[in-house]
Amino acid sequence: MEIKGKLASAINTQITLEQHSALAYEQLSYDMEALDLPGIASWFRAQAEEERVHAAKFAQHLLDRGGRPQLEKIDAMTEQAETVLEAFEASLAQEKRVSDAIRDLYRIATSEGDIDSLPLLHWFIDEQLEEEASVNEIIGRVKLIGDDGAGLLKLDQELGSRPGGTNLAEAE
């Protein structure tokens, strides 16, 4: 079924929001490199990549249904994270914003009776639940670690082993 009206434009805005998330994660990866935490930086780069996949999923949905994705303006990242805790708290705030946007998409889709978009939106609702839970768990651990340098290095090593993460020093 061809997509139109309010839902089409809201999905279009969502594509931009996912790209915005990708850039926000890219910035957090730079911030973590600056703190000499390459593993955590690589975790954020993997996260940025995931956000680009999200943008692509929404874009594909529009295209499959006769829509035309158009990126909107993305504001520059104006804040830098000075600590690991700040970085993950920024990440959680971004995820919550995205979760809210996806709930809004779901409300629009159901009010317009747009059945075709529901499987995609269900997938994203699950995905956001997971994203928020995993960031929350990391925040809990960062708080436990506190000022313990050895603990932080261990977390750096662990998060650096996430598949899909790349070490900037090794990337050519």
The rounded distance, in Å, linking the Cα atoms of 110 and 112 is 5
Q: Least distance to Fe ion from the beta carbon of 137, Å?
A: 15
- For 104, what's the count of Cα atoms within 13 Å in the CB-facing half-sphere? 14
> Whose Cβ is closer to Fe ion: residue 51's or residue 156's?
51
Determine the residue with CB nearest Fe ion. Answer: 54
Q: Least distance to Fe ion from the beta carbon of 73, Å?
A: 19
> Whose Cβ is closer to Fe ion: residue 36's or residue 104's?
104
Q: Least distance to Fe ion from the beta carbon of 108, Å?
A: 18
**Binding-site ranges for Fe ion (CB under 5 A):** 18, 51, 54, 131
Q: Least distance to Fe ion from the beta carbon of 39, Å?
A: 19
> Whose Cβ is closer to Fe ion: residue 79's or residue 126's?
126
Q: Least distance to Fe ion from the beta carbon of 36, Å?
A: 25
> Whose Cβ is closer to Fe ion: residue 16's or residue 166's?
16
- Cβ-contact 70, 52 below 8 angstroms: no
The rounded distance, in Å, linking the Cα atoms of 47 and 24 is 10
| Amino acid residing at 36 | D
Q: Tell the residue number behind the tokens 């768990």, with chain if given.
A: 137
- Cβ-contact 28, 44 below 8 angstroms: yes
* 27 burial type by CB count under 10 A (0-12 exposed, 13-18 middle, 19+ buried): buried
> Whose Cβ is closer to Fe ion: residue 31's or residue 131's?
131
